[in-house]
Copies of this chain bind each other. A is one copy, B any other.
Amino acid sequence: MDQANAKQNNKIKIVIPIYDDVTQLDFTGPHQFFTRVPESEVIVAAMGGGSISVSGLTFGKLADLASIESCDVLCVPGGIGCVAMIENQEFLDQIIRLAGTAKYVSSVCTGSIILGAAGLLRGKRAACHWTCRDMLSAFGAIPDDARVVRDGNVFTGGGVTAGIDFALTLITELVGSEAAQALQLSLEYAPEPPFDAGRPETAPANVLETVQARLQKTMPALRKRIERVAATQMSESTNAKLAK
């Protein structure tokens, strides 16, 4: 039994699959909280292990996703690379397999697009980065604009920094509110954003326009690719149902 599969002392095993062009704060935020949960074991993994470099940070010594037998929590971060990953059936198969072993299936940001493409969000409410939230419905999910959404055993967080609120919410479920609050205090999470610009509904109009204009360069092509995966997946699922 290798390190990734050692189930010691009933530790809470949390697996975070990462990939090229992941958004690092989507998982480093939750990771900081998860690793301080007493009796937790947090494994960051990628297809084939190795290392992933993103925006000048290199994450090394990653576990091989395929070698992880099971987990208690699967936590899938987002990032622009999620689009390539939902086109990668080998990756999706690992997500589906590990989700099948997990007590909790979860995501941060556009990680929910990956959960959707893995067929794990059908009929479920879910959060996502605001720029892609509506696309969840292509996978049969119900987009929810809350910062953290729970639907049964599926916990999803909104964009990037929502990962911290998500982590505290999931940790409350895992080990209770007192332990979660102790973590919040030790990581001094008493946010004071200098502006109220974190949501399209509250950002000044010119700021929203700037961000939308920037997205206009990349989003249409990415949305088409997501829609293509969703269409294939939903029709395959329909065919499978008809064949039964």
Contacts and interface: CB of A to CB of B under 8 A. Distances in A.
Interface of A: 23-25, 28-29, 31-32, 35, 42-44, 51, 53, 55-61, 109, 129-130, 147-148, 158-162, 164-165, 168-169, 172, 177-178, 180-182, 184-200, 202-204, 206-208, 210-211, 214
A238 B203 CA distance: 51
A129 B188 contact: yes
A182 B202 contact: no
A156 B90 CA distance: 45
Contact of A208 (B24, B129, B160, B185): B185
Contacts of A187: 25, 159-161, 198
Nearest to A26: B32
This chain's copy number in the assembly: 2
Contacts of A29: 25, 28-29
Given A55-B31, A161-B164, A207-B181, A191 B188 contact: no
Contacts of A180: 194-195
A22 B19 CA distance: 24
A6 B76 CA distance: 36
Contacts of A202: 190
A210 B182 contact: yes
Contacts of A200: 185
A194 B188 CA distance: 13
Contact of A28 (B25, B188, B208): B25
A158 B56 contact: no
A185 B197 contact: yes
Given A160-B187, A161-B187, A188-B161, A182 B194 contact: no
